[in-house]
Structure 1
Amino acid sequence: MNTNDLRDFGGATEGRNDGRSRFHGYKRSATIRRCEVAILERARRSATRYKGGMLDQWLTELLARSGMSQAELARRLTAELNRSIDRAAVNKMTKRKRNIDGDEVLAIERIFGDQAPRSESLPARPVDAAPPQHISGRDLVGGADLPVYAAARGGDGHIIVTFDPVEFVKRPAPLAHVKEGYGLLVTGDSMVPAYRPGDTALVNPRLPAERGEDVILYHNPPDGEAEATVKHLVAFNDREWTLQQYNPPETFTLSRIEWPICHRVVGKYNRR
């Protein structure tokens, strides 16, 4: 497999819905002794904290108790999510013929004022993901010119990023031609096991926001210092981001007005 093939796996090519993967692994001592990259399949779009096998029953019971018709729920979901959802889609949700996405679950909770059944914990990786594929790092890294920025813990699980490089590291293939690319030292444990404190998230700020990808949201323009949060993007619309963290498992929303800047994470280097 050549570098161009691997670039597609890193998420730098738009329009692929299958085989989207993340780069993992890059352990260093005084100099780089070994670099491994693990490619993970994309997780399903639906939020993993919800018990998918019970959502259809939960929705059916909500409709029965409230007396709301499927057509009315479809209309209200369309208004909530700013995208078209018809009665047939709602009917399929109740019969487990269609997945209920994370933002749809949150909208249904708001409409009925009832909480969806939750899973007690999240798996270390998506249960339907393929095992990581390990590839030699020699084919993936360029010059040691990728800036890495540090972050300190802020309030409400957020971080404060300082845009003064603490080091420069080898540049992976997904960022080979991305001048604005950078690394961010992860602090906090809200995204364990995907990202552990000391890992370096690899970021391509050029890529657009996309469901099912890890992102860094900024509260203010990333210049000097900026408040940020690293999360998994479940869904988004014109008004808000639907985000997921793993530790403790939680799915929640943030206003796009308050958090207007979204940078895509295309992989990570493991902590030293």
Structure 2
Amino acid sequence: MSPPNNPIMVEAGSMANRCSDIHYLTQDFVVKIETDSSAAMPYGLGMLSEWLQTALGASGISQAELSRRLTAELGRSIDRAAVNKMTKGTRDIQADELMVIERETGWEAPRTIEVPLKGYVGAGAEVIVLDDGEHDRVSAPRDTRPGTVAVRVRGDSMYPAYESGAVIYYSRHLPPNEMLNKRAVVQLADGRIFLKILRAGSTPTTWTLQSLNPSFSDMEDQVIDWTAPIDWIRPAS
């Protein structure tokens, strides 16, 4: 019986093509830092580590046994500590290692990562949340964190920072003071969500949301539930 599909991952590609397939195409994704330069965001391979944990559990292969098989197959030492780091997403899984793991466990690695599309960034940089009960999904970078969601820019409310059609990915919720003077996804106390630059307000418990598009006024002295840094940006195609 074939292993069940992971709903987060869309699998494709034959074993003969796996070595090239697993070099996922991340060049279309950039992260916008405060200097407006683009840089790759090399954090842990969360969803690949989830796949490895599932593959080991379903196949009954222990980390120690996988270490032994990888070492024997590849002719280099891959100890249990390295395998443990793979399962935690703190060590990359090399192309040849991944092919061995697929063969030994019978579980094919994800070809494409998909995450929920939470909504659209509309007028005034407000996120219009999809409420139809089933979020659309969009492709995401290989290094996507578990829990990541995306929003798509619609219209010119974010111009010139982001063009209509750009997809913005975020995952972590942080206290506002950690995102001061940075671009962030922000949820206000009233539930509305915006994509703004966070500035200090007139009191210690309020914040000003500065618009990226100068055509829109700033939102002064807002009470914030949470902020989230932007992990990745996929430019408009």
Q: TM-score range by the shorter chain?
A: 0.3 to 0.5
TM-score (norm 2): 0.47
